[in-house]
């Protein structure tokens, strides 16, 4: 299917991304996964090459480029390079942390944090999830109480992507014990603030190179200058940024699904069994045909969502639709592709084997499939009938 989505400038940028990946990522991706750590120099090199943080304004060292299609190009090329731990870290920076720092900061805060982000010297993390609070943000127990011009932050977070590496962590905390939608505030906790401790680097079943951690805040003194987006507006600020986060999941899911499908298609028409390529068997061709059709259809929805985001019209409900469906599609496609590879698919040296374990979390983070369906269902229940 023809895809009238990218311009010549996007394709020129694609070549830049490919050259960067060949030079700075592909030679190291296996080592990163084995060591469960990505070299920080990879992010300074990525920022220098313009692989992420393009939307940072020029006065802070960025390109001021807001077109999300450039982000899509990166998703596609990193997926083709089979560097998914690196891909997730880029997504965390571009689709989560940086989006908060661009939208919710004061000019003074932008001057402090954006230049370092633009050079890749500052890595960020978003800390919402707690041992007893995941999708239910109202269950957050980490609290902050005001003490003069400062806030005293106390509590813990878990499953925090880039929690070990992060220099700045956006922390959601309860600031009003009475509860309600105005009970939460976002704070930026910086590396080496007294009382801020990193816990275990958690061992995951996939994405091993991308560090995930427990974080502890033992009466951390946070200055009022590090309040992000206003006191009592934490919940609203979190909710308003979910469409970008979920669009990022959709972009990564369709890119990875397409990349693994193409690897599998080539395998099916080069691998022989009983004297002929396995792709000459009708069942295999039907499997490929079904996946190709689903990918084209879902890709059209993601393209539409990107255009809506660029126009400022992507709704939380439409982003939720894309997030759950693309992540579930990714699970199905990767699983079927592994089956078509046979025993080779179960080997970690093959991209499809690594993608199989890396894929499973897609339907969990940024809101589970069930939560996405609930968001959509509630919207449907509010619409007039007839």
Task: Note the pLDDT of residue 2.
Answer: 55
Would you say residue 3 lies in a domain? no
Same domain, residue pair 250 and 370: yes
On whether both 147 and 57 belong to a single domain, the answer is: no
CATH of residue 36's domain is 1.10.540.10
| Contact between residue 169 and residue 124 where contact means Cβ atoms under 8 Å apart | yes
Per residue in 4-44, pLDDT tens? 899 999 999 999 999 999 999 999 999 999 999 999 999 99
Its pTM stands at: 0.94
CA distance 140 to 135: 10
CATH number of the domain encompassing residue 183: 2.40.110.10
Within a domain: 246 = yes
Residue 81's φ and ψ, nearest 5 degrees, are -85, -5
Co-location of 69 and 141 in the same domain: no
Q: Mark whether 194 and 224 lie in a shared domain.
A: yes
Lookup: tokens for 77: 């090329």
Query: For the chain, what is the domain count?
Result: 3
Q: State the catalytic residues.
A: 245
User: CATH number of the domain that 318 lies in?
Assistant: 1.20.140.10
For residue 3, what pLDDT is reported? 74
> Are residue 208 and residue 254 in the same domain, yes or no?
no
In-domain check, residue 215? yes
| 386 pLDDT higher than 90 | no
Task: State whether 209 and 299 are in the same domain.
Answer: no
200 and 146 co-located in one domain: yes
State the chain's mean pLDDT as an integer: 95
- Are residues 210 and 299 located together in one domain of the fold? no
Which residue, 74, 105, 122, sits at the end of a domain?
122
Average pLDDT (170-190) is 92
Q: Pick from 173, 166, 167: which is nearest to 187 by CA?
A: 173
- Residue-wise pLDDT for 67-115, tens only, equals 999 999 999 999 999 999 999 999 999 999 999 999 999 999 999 999 9
Q: Which of 214, 235, 256 is the last residue of a domain?
A: 235
Query: Which pLDDT band, with edges at 50, 70 and 90, does 192 fall under?
Result: very high
Tell me: the pLDDT tens digits for 253-299?
999 999 999 999 999 999 999 999 999 999 999 999 999 999 999 99
Whether 1 is in a domain gets the answer no
DSSP classification of residue 342: G
Rounded alpha-carbon distances, angstroms, from residue 26 to 31, 45, 205, 302, 315: 10, 14, 21, 27, 36
Q: Which domain holds residue 347?
A: 241-382
State whether 214 and 254 are in the same domain. no
- Residue 133's pLDDT band, with cuts at 50, 70 and 90, is confident
Neighbours of 262 (CB within 10 A): 15
Domain limit, last residue, from 80, 96, 122? 122
How far is Cα 289 from Cα 349, in angstroms, rounded to an integer? 26
Question: Beta partners for 187?
Answer: 171, 227
Q: How far is CA 294 from CA 18, 63, 216, 361, in A?
A: 26, 35, 43, 21
């Amino acid at each position: 299917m023809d895809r009238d989505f990218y311009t010549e400038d996007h394709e020129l940028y694609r070549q830049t991304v490919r050259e960067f990946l060949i030079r700075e990522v592909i030679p190291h991706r296996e080592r990163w996964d084995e060591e469960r750590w990505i070299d920080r120099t990879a992010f300074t090199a990525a920022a220098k090459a313009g692989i992420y943080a393009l939307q940072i304004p020029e006065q802070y060292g960025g390109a001021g480029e807001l077109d999300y299609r450039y982000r899509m190009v990166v998703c596609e090329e990193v997926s083709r390079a089979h560097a998914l731990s690196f891909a997730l870290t880029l997504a965390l920076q571009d689709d989560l942390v940086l989006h908060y720092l661009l939208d919710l900061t004061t000019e003074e805060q932008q001057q402090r944090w954006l230049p370092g982000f633009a050079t890749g010297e500052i890595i960020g993390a978003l800390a919402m999830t707690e041992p007893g609070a995941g999708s239910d943000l109202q269950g957050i127990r980490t609290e902050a109480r005001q003490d003069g011009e400062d806030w005293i932050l106390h509590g813990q977070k878990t499953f925090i992507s880039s929690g070990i590496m992060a220099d700045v962590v956006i922390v959601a905390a309860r600031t009003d014990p009475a509860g309600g939608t105005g009970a939460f505030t976002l704070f930026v906790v910086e590396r080496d603030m007294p009382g801020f401790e990193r816990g275990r680097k958690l061992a995951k079943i996939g994405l091993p190179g991308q560090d995930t951690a427990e974080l502890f805040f033992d009466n951390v003194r946070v200055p009022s200058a590090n309040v992000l987006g206003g006191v009592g507006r934490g919940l609203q600020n979190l909710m308003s940024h979910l469409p970008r986060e979920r669009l990022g999941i959709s972009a990564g899911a369709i890119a990875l699904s397409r990349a693994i499908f193409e690897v599998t298609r080539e395998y099916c028409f080069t691998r022989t069994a009983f004297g002929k390529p396995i792709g000459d068997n009708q069942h295999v061709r039907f499997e490929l045909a079904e996946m190709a059709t689903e990918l084209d259809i879902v890709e059209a929805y993601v393209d539409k969502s990107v255009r809506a985001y660029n126009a400022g019209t992507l709704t939380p409900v439409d982003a939720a639709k894309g997030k759950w469906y693309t992540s579930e599609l990714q699970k199905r496609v990767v699983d079927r592709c592994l089956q078509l590879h046979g025993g080779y698919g179960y080997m970690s040296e093959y991209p499809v084997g690594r993608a199989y374990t890396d894929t499973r979390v897609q339907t969990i983070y940024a809101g589970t499939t069930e939560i996405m369906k609930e968001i959509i269902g509630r919207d449907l229940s509010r619409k007039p009938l007839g």
